[in-house]
């Protein structure tokens, strides 16, 4: 194992980990309604056109557009009503819209042969049951969705690796996909270490604190689409930790170890990780605040992270190094991780060569997004609750002045 705290940048840490992680994931078929938030295991291609026929987008009358040219409220174009489109019926079997004719048509109805536009109901006046006056002209294609305009046959629908959102479920339903090939969620083992930790149901004694990280990390892992499993609290004992880590590695795809990553005399995480398998510890320390004393290791293709014991630090590092692996299976170079730009409300200092991550509240003011830092030490979990996201101060800057824009990642 290399010297402690030869701190790496976030990018370097990702590159080191990415070069040793096995990226193959088992695949399963799930029913469409259970696919929300899952990652597609293959490209999906449309077989059928969507829509499968020319259809109206408004209630009104299907017409030949040229029969309406020049129509005005004072001088309407008069058309004979010779047919009606019924929902769910093939309009092509009922006749053709001829010169000077119109058919009644509902929203979503199939455009009948001969028609090339729809006149909205609001722009017609009915003289009697068989005659209307059109008070505004339409052009060919008005108020119509053409066959395949939404999705063309043979078009790529969604790419491999895409994380399915509610709108994606609707898209897959439209093209007739009912069973979806998705990657199985990663199994994440979570271990908390420290002689000072007690379970949440216990009353802490002098010098003791309840285990926060197991629950916060469990929530983060589940939110990233993983299947988390808590392996409990382990005292600062080399053999106990080694046995529990071996168990977690045998049962999980990724393991999180919180606490025991600083340079204290009794901290054993890095030593344990370096004895479990190849290549072992890849770095100990990343150049960020909070979260510097982070250990990154890979054991037989499985990533293991020694996260800081302070809750804020552990959660920030999870977002930077663990979330991408759980959501995408690897680190994306072009991933837009901090998509919101907001104006900072106060001066914030930073050390050169170190990325700082600020907890911020967000609000709008005169149409602009404002970021107000939530100040507090990295051991204060309440500061994460009060914040809406993380703002990043790049390593090349020594701080950001009030009024400058800052990049923010939403929680």
Q: What is the structure's pLDDT at 267?
A: 60
For residue 2, pLDDT beyond 50? no
Asked whether residue 102 falls in the same domain as residue 15, the answer is no
In a domain, 102, yes or no: yes
Q: What is the structure's pLDDT at 143?
A: 98
Tell me the CATH number at 133. 2.170.190.11
* Averaged pLDDT, 37-47: 95
Asked whether residue 22 falls in the same domain as residue 83, the answer is no
Asked whether residue 200 falls in the same domain as residue 114, the answer is no
Q: Which of 328, 354, 382 is the last residue of a domain?
A: 328
For residue 213, pLDDT beyond 90? yes
Asked whether residue 272 falls in the same domain as residue 308, the answer is yes
Asked whether residue 320 falls in the same domain as residue 348, the answer is no
Phi, psi (degrees; rounded to nearest 5) at 163: -90, 120
Question: What confidence tier does 237 reach under pLDDT thresholds 50, 70, 90?
Answer: confident
Asked whether residue 124 falls in the same domain as residue 207, the answer is no
Asked whether residue 131 falls in the same domain as residue 206, the answer is no
Asked whether residue 206 falls in the same domain as residue 74, the answer is no
292-348 pLDDT tens trace? 999 999 999 999 999 999 999 999 999 999 999 999 888 887 666 889 999 999 999
CB 290 within 8 A of CB 392: no
Asked whether residue 345 falls in the same domain as residue 213, the answer is no
Question: What confidence tier does 6 reach under pLDDT thresholds 50, 70, 90?
Answer: confident
Asked whether residue 207 falls in the same domain as residue 347, the answer is no
DSSP summary character for residue 209 = E
Cα angle 312-4-237, degrees, rounded to a multiple of 5? 75
Q: What is the structure's pLDDT at 345?
A: 97
Structural domain count of the chain? 4
Asked whether residue 235 falls in the same domain as residue 321, the answer is yes
C-alpha distance from residue 51 to each of 94, 108, 131, 154, 278 (Å): 20, 10, 31, 14, 54
Q: Which of 328, 352, 373 is the last residue of a domain?
A: 328
* Averaged pLDDT, 141-165: 95
Residue 240 domain boundaries: 10-26+184-328
Asked whether residue 44 falls in the same domain as residue 61, the answer is no
131-143 pLDDT tens trace? 999 999 999 999 9
Q: Which of 328, 362, 383 is the last residue of a domain?
A: 328
In a domain, 333, yes or no: no
């Amino acid at each position: 194992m290399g010297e402690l705290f030869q701190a790496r940048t976030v990018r370097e840490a990702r590159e080191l980990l990415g070069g040793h992680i096995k990226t193959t994931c088992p695949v399963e078929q799930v029913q469409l309604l259970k696919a929300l938030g899952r990652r597609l295991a293959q490209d999906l291609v449309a077989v059928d056109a969507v829509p499968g026929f020319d259809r109206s987008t408004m209630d009104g009358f299907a017409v030949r557009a040229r029969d309406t040219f020049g129509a005005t409220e004072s001088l309407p174009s008069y058309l004979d009503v010779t047919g009606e489109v019924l929902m769910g019926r093939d309009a092509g079997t009922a006749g053709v819209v001829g010169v000077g004719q119109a058919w009644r048509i509902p929203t979503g109805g199939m455009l009948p042969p001969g028609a090339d536009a729809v006149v909205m109901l609001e722009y017609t006046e009915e003289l009697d049951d068989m005659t209307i006056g059109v008070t505004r002209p339409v052009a060919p294609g008005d108020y119509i969705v053409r066959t395949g305009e939404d999705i063309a046959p043979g078009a790529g629908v969604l790419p491999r690796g895409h994380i399915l959102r509610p709108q994606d479920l609707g898209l897959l339903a439209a093209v007739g996909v009912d069973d979806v090939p998705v990657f199985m969620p990663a199994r994440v083992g979570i271990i908390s270490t420290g002689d000072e930790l007690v379970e949440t149901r216990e009353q802490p004694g002098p010098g003791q604190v309840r285990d926060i990280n197991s629950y916060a990390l469990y929530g983060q892992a589940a939110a990233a689409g993983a299947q988390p499993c808590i392996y409990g609290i382990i005292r600062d004992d080399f053999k106990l930790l080694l046995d529990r880590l071996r168990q977690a590695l045998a049962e999980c795809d990724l393991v999180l170890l919180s606490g025991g990553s600083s340079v204290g005399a009794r901290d054993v995480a890095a030593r344990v990780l370096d004895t479990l398998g190849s290549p072992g510890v890849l770095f100990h320390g990343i150049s960020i605040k909070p979260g510097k004393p982070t250990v990154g290791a890979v054991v037989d293709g499985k990533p293991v992270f020694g996260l800081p014991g302070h809750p804020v630090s552990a959660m920030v590092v999870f977002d930077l190094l663990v979330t991408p692996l759980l959501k995408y299976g690897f680190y994306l170079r072009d991933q837009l991780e901090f998509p919101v730009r907001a104006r900072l409300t106060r001066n914030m200092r930073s050390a050169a060569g170190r990325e700082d991550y600020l907890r911020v509240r967000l609000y709008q003011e005169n149409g602009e997004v404002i970021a107000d830092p939530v100040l507090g030490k990295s051991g204060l979990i309440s500061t994460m609750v009060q914040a809406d996201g993380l703002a990043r101060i790049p390593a090349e800057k020594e701080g950001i002045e009030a009024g400058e824009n800052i990049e923010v990642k939403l929680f």
